[in-house]
């Protein structure tokens, strides 16, 4: 679904990362894991064409630089790490914006657009705050609204940058379960995550960013082992099993 070959990007004279190659396969949930500042958001922005990288990126078999903005909006939904709006749009209006790539010319907003908006809000438990201004809700609620907007956009690929960073425990698990349902319906999800447990519990595949590029990729439970976590964070992580569930815990 998303293929990157030999990607290199620099903000200044020194590359932040180079030789980054990976494949996010269709119908899979791929995690992007790595320490603060390792370049995960930057790599996402390169994949989305928001930053220009060296190398080759294809989405759904099409070379990324040749995809128009309108076509890209039907292919990929992006949930940024944080977002604020200067305008007091209602929650419902922000979610409806996800439908913009589907608005039908003179027909404008259709019944289907409105139904998909209501469905996405209901799925994320937002219906009760649908008429509240987006500027007057909490950071966690804003994060849920952006995820709802991406679901309403109904694209084959969804990219989420730390989608659960502002959420309480219940909502974190709800989001990961929804992401699983999405991939089980045939769509593809690529998500940055900081919690190794979330990655190993919910992702099919993981890419690990280290200093200068990718340091590992593959099956999360075997890749995120103690030696790798020690290389990333020092000697702070142990790995055990509780009720059959693999658990990374602080030593
Ligand atoms: N616009 C920018 N100009 C210059 N340097 C930048 C810019 N944006 C990010 N950086 C630098 O690039 C590096 C990677 O940043 P990036 O946000 O991609 O990391 P990240 O892995 O997503 O981090 P985090 O986990 O903290 O969100 C950091 O050192 C950051 O300071």
Tell me: pLDDT of 182 over 70: yes
Closest CA to 118 of 151, 76, 156: 151
Q: What is the mean pLDDT of residues 6-19?
A: 95
pLDDT for residue 106:
65
CA of 8 to the centre of ligand 1 (A): 14
CA of 199 to the centre of ligand 1 (A): 21
pLDDT for residue 77:
97
Q: Is the CB of 232 under 6 A from ligand 1?
A: no
Tell me: pLDDT of 105 over 70: no
Closest CA to 55 of 13, 10, 6, 20: 6
Residue with the smallest CA separation from ligand 1 atom 28 is 37
Strand partners, 79: 160
Q: What is the mean pLDDT of residues 190-195?
A: 96
Tell me: pLDDT of 207 over 80: yes
CB 114 within 8 A of CB 107: no
CA of 197 to the centre of ligand 1 (A): 23
Tell me: pLDDT of 94 over 70: yes
> What span, in angstroms and rounded, lies between the C-alpha atoms of 227 and 43?
25
Q: Is the CB of 36 under 6 A from ligand 1?
A: yes
Average pLDDT of the residues of the chain: 93
* pLDDT tens sequence across 149-174: 999 999 999 999 999 998 999 999 99
Q: Which atom of ligand 1 is closest in space to residue 35's alpha carbon?
A: 25
Closest CA to 33 of 21, 23, 45, 41: 41
CA of 132 to the centre of ligand 1 (A): 32
CB 179 within 8 A of CB 29: yes
- Percent residues over pLDDT 90 in the chain: 87
Here the ipTM equals: 0.98
Confidence of residue 108 (pLDDT cuts 50, 70, 90): confident
pLDDT for residue 81:
87
Q: Which atom of ligand 1 is closest in space to residue 162's alpha carbon?
A: 27
Q: Which atom of ligand 1 is closest in space to residue 42's alpha carbon?
A: 18
> What span, in angstroms and rounded, lies between the C-alpha atoms of 146 and 60?
23
Confidence of residue 126 (pLDDT cuts 50, 70, 90): very high
Residue with the smallest CA separation from ligand 1 atom 1 is 11
CA of 216 to the centre of ligand 1 (A): 20
Confidence of residue 82 (pLDDT cuts 50, 70, 90): confident
Q: What is the mean pLDDT of residues 59-85?
A: 90
CA of 36 to the centre of ligand 1 (A): 8
Q: Which atom of ligand 1 is closest in space to residue 209's alpha carbon?
A: 21
Q: What is the pTM of this model?
A: 0.94
Q: How many CB atoms lie within 10 A of CB 173?
A: 15
């Amino acid at each position: 679904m998303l293929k990157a070959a030999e990607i290199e990007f620099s903000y200044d004279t020194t590359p932040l990362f180079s030789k980054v190659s990976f494949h996010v396969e269709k119908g899979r949930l791929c995690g992007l894991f790595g320490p603060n500042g390792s370049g995960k958001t930057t790599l996402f922005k390169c994949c989305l064409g928001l930053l220009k990288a060296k190398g080759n990126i294809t989405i759904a078999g099409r070379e990324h630089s040749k995809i128009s903005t309108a076509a890209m909006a039907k292919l990929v939904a992006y949930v940024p790490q944080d977002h604020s709006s200067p305008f007091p749009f209602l929650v419902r209006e922000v979610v409806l914006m996800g439908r913009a790539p589907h608005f039908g010319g003179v027909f404008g907003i259709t019944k289907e657009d409105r139904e998909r908006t209501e469905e996405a809000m209901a799925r994320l438990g937002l219906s009760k705050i649908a008429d509240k201004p987006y500027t007057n809700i909490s950071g966690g609620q804003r994060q849920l609204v952006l995820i709802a907007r991406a679901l309403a956009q109904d694209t084959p690929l969804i990219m989420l940058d730390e989608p659960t960073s502002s959420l309480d425990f219940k909502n974190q698990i709800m989001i990961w379960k929804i992401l699983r349902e999405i991939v089980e319906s045939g769509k593809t999800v690529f998500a940055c995550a900081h919690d190794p447990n979330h990655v190993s519990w919910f992702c099919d595949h993981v890419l690990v960013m280290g200093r200068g590029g990718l340091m590992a990729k593959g099956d999360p439970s075997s890749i995120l082992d103690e030696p790798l976590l020690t290389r990333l964070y020092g000697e702070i992580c142990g790995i055990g099993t509780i009720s059959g569930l693999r658990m990374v815990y602080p030593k």
